[in-house]
A and B are shown apart, each in its own frame.
Chain A
Amino acid sequence: MMEIKRNEILSLQALNIGYNSGKHKRALLPPVSATAKKGELVAVLGRNGIGKSTLLRTIVGLQPALGGRIFIDGRESSEYSRLELARKAGYISTEIVRASNMKVCDLVAIGRFPHTGWTGSNDPEGEAAIASAMDKTGMTGFRDRYISELSDGERQRAMIARVLAQETDILIMDEPTAFLDISGRYEMIHLMSGLARGGRTIIFSTHDFNIALNQADKIWLILDNVLIEGSPEDLVLSGAFNSLFDPGIVSFNYSDGTFSLLTEKRGKIFVRGEGLIRDWTIKALARSGYTVSDNYSVPYLITPTEEAGKWVIVLADGSVEFESIYSLAEWLVKNSNLIS
């Protein structure tokens, strides 16, 4: 048996996930192992249908593992009762709660379920936990709003308040940013990393590589036959992400961790200029299928300076001026024959 390190709040050992329908066990992946420490924000990445949700559901006990072991806080999860497990790990998925006349405060109060008696009513300690959960998620002002009237972002914050009221060390979140717009996503990830700094361990699945690469302490990358774990940077440097994408369509930029679509190669061009304008112009060139040449040659492109000027393409027999990057890009696509 592998040794469980003290600070490892969650440890998966040769865990086999999948579905068990009567006699037939259908494993989604070969057995996987992974760990998470207290206070870590762990992003689970992988293509659609690879088993991210199943993995998360298995960790939180919503479906049985086909094999292997899950250790939570040093104890095997199968030894926990359902209620004990609910005091250790909370769960949020993309499933939306619909209940008429349910207020935000009612929803959050249900999070106290594993801590209350048979009536479900809360002692002062429970009320304090509810108030603190609402405060942390910025939902205090929403306590009397009906959940049916909330926006996607507000509803997700209410769901997180509910799981915070549950007072668990581990939060399992299945695509917490799925329904949110860009600003909502960043608010959510800000909230999540704040909670992680506060000592909670958060395991979340996402399709947003940018967020995962920039914010997660650790990534569990699920590939077709293996789970690779490590810091985002380790995984980038080891080339682990390459296999996620079709190299014919998407290219991974190792210097800044972004992805770009590969477009038809049209040519190379030398660019004279500097600063922000040059950088954004190069982005447009890349989209139009041009790479930047390191060596001066004609034809070449001059980008405007900060003060004034236009984009100029200097050809062997004259030059063309452009008012905007938009018109420049349009010309480049049409006249690729003029540029080598």
Chain B
Amino acid sequence: MNNIEIQYKNKRVALIFSILIVLLIVFFILDVFLGSVNLKISEVFQALTGHSGSDVETIVMKFRLPKALTAMFVGIALSLSGLQMQTLFRNPMAGPYVLGVSSGASLGVAIVILGFSAGITTGNLHGLGNWALVFSAWIGAGAVMVLIMLISSRIQDIFVILVIGLMLSGGISAVVSIMQYFSNETMLKSYVIWTMGSLGNLTGSQLNVLMISVTAGIILSLASVKMLNAFLLGENYAMSIGLNIRFSRSLIFACTCILAGSVTAFCGPIGFIGIAVPHIARNIFRTSDHFILVPGSMLCGGIIMMASDLISQMPGTGTMLPVNSITSLIGIPVVIWVILRSGKKSGFA
């Protein structure tokens, strides 16, 4: 209770934040330098400053830098949306991928790619308008969020929600399969490539759309820290301490859909980052305070996503692994750990 203790704790939090920021920068740099071709520092520096038109400049400016930025923003976006869903549903198993929100977004995308664009010629994805793509993903994500919200207001059991999320994902992929059956070859190909999930296929304008959407999501998240803290108490107590439930739920809701939807629109479904990172952040900072958890999850998410990207490139070799498998391998153990712990502590979020 004394001031020294509080100061010590603030120092600890500040120290962890500093370490995470350093790690974020380090992984960003590594992500730019390492890949199928490892670059020298001087070459990269030249490429960043000059306009030599060399191969290295092409690699850095056209591939590595956009990819590292994409990885960072994807990590931030998925982690934040996971954190918000876990708090909003008061459910440690909530996350955009597990509960089918990413699937919802992909249904939105599928309708655009396979359905409406059927008449449009090649250059489909690019020509169609990235905002239209993102918007349809938000709508799809929102639809699933509403469904889960309706169900979770009746059933509190975390595992029931999990199963329902699986069912929703399954149902949506069935619908998408049927749509694939009726679509032409070009559309099918661009859709299948999209579903494999990738950080490296974004065009410059897509990256811009992603960064703008995610930045908007980050601002909304930072603005809603106090509301998120109140939601930890459950809706009754939250209301009794003066929270406007309908307004704050809609705000957080919209924020989650923008974050998870935008990522899914451009990178495909990327699993387990959204569910795992908030747990990692909670356990690093040992707090439930969203004033710390929101920036904390952002940093952890950015770092882990860039690290996953780095691993998937298998630096030094010519091979590339799908980034989705790396994030799953990182995320799944965390999820299992949370399940084991929640079994022990009876539904403890």
Residues of A at under 8 Å CB distance from B? 57, 60-62, 82-83, 85-87, 89-91, 93, 95, 97-103, 106-107, 109-111, 113-114, 116, 118-121, 131, 134, 140, 143, 148, 166
Contact = CB atoms under 8 A, between A and B. Distances in A.
A85 B243 CA distance: 11
A45 B50 CA distance: 81
B345 A119 contact: no
Interface stretch (B108-116, B231-239, B304-312): B231-239
Nearest to A93: B236
B1 interface: yes
A114 B241 contact: yes
A111 B242 CA distance: 10
B240 A60 contact: yes
Contact of B288 (A87, A106, A120, A166): A106
A57 to B, nearest CB: 8
Contact of B226 (A97, A113, A148): A113
Contact of A110 (B232, B279, B348): B232
Contacts of A82: 239, 242-244
B249 interface: no
B75 to A, nearest CB: 21
Contacts of B287: 101-103, 106
A119 B226 contact: yes
Given A83-B242, A166-B241, A102 B232 contact: yes
B348 A148 contact: yes
A134 B345 contact: no
B225 interface: yes
B1 A91 contact: no
Nearest to A149: B345
Contacts of B349: 98-100
B126 interface: no
Nearest to B92: A100
B220 to A, nearest CB: 12
Contact of B240 (A62, A101, A131, A148): A62
Contacts of B234: 95, 97
B242 A113 contact: yes
A62 B232 contact: no
B226 A120 contact: yes
A101 B286 contact: yes
B230 A113 contact: yes
A114 B241 CA distance: 6
Nearest to B288: A102
Contacts of B279: 100
Nearest to A89: B240
Contact of B225 (A90, A98, A119): A119
A110 B225 CA distance: 12
Contacts of A111: 241
5 contacts: A86-B241, A110-B230, A110-B232, A118-B223, A166-B241
B286 to A, nearest CB: 6
B297 to A, nearest CB: 13
Q: Which 8 A-B pairs have the closest CB atoms?
A: A86-B242, A120-B226, A102-B288, A91-B240, A114-B242, A83-B242, A113-B241, A99-B232
Contacts of B325: none
Interface residues of B, number: 32
Contact of A98 (B90, B229, B239, B241): B90
Nearest to B232: A99
Contacts of A103: 287-288
B243 A113 contact: yes
A86 B239 CA distance: 8
A140 to B, nearest CB: 6
B1 A61 contact: no
A116 B226 CA distance: 9
Given A89-B240, A90-B240, A120-B291, 20 more contacts: A60-B240, A62-B236, A82-B242, A82-B244, A91-B236, A91-B237, A93-B237, A95-B237, A97-B237, A100-B348, A101-B285, A101-B287, A110-B232, A113-B229, A114-B241, A118-B226, A119-B226, A120-B226, A131-B1, A140-B1
Contacts of B223: 118
Contacts of B236: 57, 62, 91, 93, 95
A101 B226 contact: no
B39 to A, nearest CB: 41
A86 B240 CA distance: 6
Contact of A62 (B239, B291, B345): B239
Contacts of B42: none
Given A119-B291, A131-B1, A134-B1, A98 B226 contact: no
Contacts of A93: 236-237
Contacts of A95: 234, 236-237
A16 to B, nearest CB: 21
B283 interface: yes
Contacts of B291: 119-121
Contact of B282 (A100, A109, A114, A118): A100
A111 B244 CA distance: 15
Contacts of A143: 1
B240 A110 contact: no
Contacts of B315: none
Nearest to B223: A118
A143 to B, nearest CB: 6
Contact of A101 (B90, B233, B237, B282): B282
Given A101-B286, A106-B288, A120 B225 contact: yes
B348 A98 contact: yes
Contact of A120 (B229, B286, B345): B229
Given A110-B232, A113-B230, A99 B288 contact: yes
Contacts of B288: 99-103, 106
Nearest to A135: B1
Nearest to A100: B349
A103 B285 CA distance: 12
B235 to A, nearest CB: 9
Contacts of B229: 110, 113, 120
B244 to A, nearest CB: 6
A106 B243 CA distance: 17
A93 to B, nearest CB: 6
